[in-house]
Amino acid sequence: MEQLTPNIFTETRLRGCNPSFVTTSEGVVVIDTPQLPTKAVAMRREAESHGPIRYIINTEHHVDHIFGNYYFKGAGTVVNHQGVYDNFMVVYPELDPFAYAYEALPTPAGKGTDLDDPTGVALWPDRDEYYADPNKGTVVFTGDLTLHVGDHTFHCLHTPGHTPGQLAVHVPEERTVFTGDTIFSECQTWLMTSNVDQWIASLDRIRALDVDRVVPGHGPITTKAYVDTQRATLMEWKTAVALAVAKGWSREETVARVNFADRCPVDIGQGYMMNYIQTLNAGSLWDKLTAVPAASAR
């Protein structure tokens, strides 16, 4: 893992999120866990070499941020925002997170990279065994939460937008914030079912922090200045689709014509999903911008 400060370790070169941990005078705090089994096991081993794991904080419910919790059982208390807890590994019609996590193990033909995890198959749990205890939160909260661990403070800030339970973890002693997927650094932004207006407001909250470094959910470590780049990306997507709606374009026309694939690559291991991201982003925004508001209660 990359050492950012004497106490911060992170990994930005894996398929999935950027899992990290912070060492303190009274143990270790993990922020997100690897999706890939062998990487999760290795990260736990490395974290525990610095002391006992006190907490595991998940910044969101998407599978690449939470699946590795299974391999951290018995190592610290899991902390989830209510929005993360309620959606933790929930199977939806459009996505089975357990199956999606498994897709990353053997490198599919023409997909992924040699950074995927074919040897992780040996560590893969049975579905029923996994869902019996995926190691979700036992400390569950709404709003914000502050944890004090030894000589460090961990402000878990509710920053909804990308997901309803999205968190940023601000560690003032390290002048660092871990933003989760509120920031995609130098790689394609996944809008998914996001609320762009909430997301922009959350970026404003991150901008107000007194920090030197930003650990994003995906992509290289950056600075607070990148907040404005992420804001611009969100505004460009929303504006482009709003203009499409104003021109009377159908959903199919909007998906075909609104595309930002030329801006930056997809994060590690998922380059084959570029077209999927463009389609998902444009289509989900079109759906939101054309939705008929629910009738007011009388």
| Beta carbons of 79 and 145 less than 8 angstroms apart | yes
Q: In this structure, are 158 and 285 located in the same domain?
A: no
Q: What is the pLDDT of residue 46?
A: 98
The H or E element spanning position 154 is strand 152-158
Please state, in angstroms and rounded to a whole number, the distance separating the CA atoms of residues 162 and 159.
9
Q: In this structure, are 228 and 239 located in the same domain?
A: no
Give the pairing of strands 176-184 and 213-218: parallel
Q: For residue 105, what pLDDT band results from cuts at 50, 70 and 90?
A: confident
Q: What is the pLDDT of residue 110?
A: 47
Q: In this structure, are 85 and 198 located in the same domain?
A: yes
Q: For residue 85, what pLDDT band results from cuts at 50, 70 and 90?
A: very high
Please state, in angstroms and rounded to a whole number, the distance separating the CA atoms of residues 179 and 191.
15
Residues 108, 112, 114, 119, CA torsion sign: negative
Q: In this structure, are 202 and 248 located in the same domain?
A: no
Boundary (domain end) residue, out of 184, 217, 232: 232
- Which residue range forms the structural domain that includes residue 284? 234-290
| Beta carbons of 177 and 171 less than 8 angstroms apart | yes
Q: For residue 3, what pLDDT band results from cuts at 50, 70 and 90?
A: very high
Which tokens go with 295?
């009738």
- With respect to residue 298, please indicate whether it lies within any of the assigned structural domains: no
Which tokens go with 142?
């709404």
Average pLDDT, the chain: 94
- With respect to residue 296, please indicate whether it lies within any of the assigned structural domains: no
The stretch 27-45 carries a mean pLDDT of: 97
The stretch 170-198 carries a mean pLDDT of: 97
Query: What is the crossing angle of helices 226-246 and 274-290, to 10°?
Result: 60
- With respect to residue 227, please indicate whether it lies within any of the assigned structural domains: yes
The stretch 188-213 carries a mean pLDDT of: 97
Please list the residues that pair with 24 across neighbouring strands: 27
Q: For residue 116, what pLDDT band results from cuts at 50, 70 and 90?
A: confident
Q: In this structure, are 212 and 116 located in the same domain?
A: yes
Q: How many structural domains compose the chain?
A: 2
Q: In this structure, are 109 and 239 located in the same domain?
A: no
pTM of the model: 0.94
User: How confident is the model over 51-83, as pLDDT tens digits?
Assistant: 999 999 999 999 999 999 999 999 999 999 999
Where residue 13 sits, what CATH number does that domain have?
A: 3.60.15.10
Q: In this structure, are 282 and 208 located in the same domain?
A: no
Q: In this structure, are 111 and 160 located in the same domain?
A: yes
- With respect to residue 295, please indicate whether it lies within any of the assigned structural domains: no
User: How confident is the model over 246-270, as pLDDT tens digits?
Assistant: 999 999 999 999 999 999 999 998 8
Boundary (domain end) residue, out of 216, 232, 248: 232
Among 27-31, 101-105, 229-233, the minimum mean pLDDT is found in 101-105
Q: For residue 297, what pLDDT band results from cuts at 50, 70 and 90?
A: very low
Q: In this structure, are 228 and 268 located in the same domain?
A: no
Q: In this structure, are 161 and 224 located in the same domain?
A: yes
Q: In this structure, are 57 and 46 located in the same domain?
A: yes
Task: Spell out the residues 6+ positions from residue 208 whose beta carbon is closer than 8 angstroms to its own.
Answer: none
**With 90 as the cut, is the pLDDT of residue 281 above it?**
yes
Name the CA dihedral angle for 252, 234, 265, 255, rounded to a multiple of 10 degrees: 0
| Beta carbons of 101 and 37 less than 8 angstroms apart | no
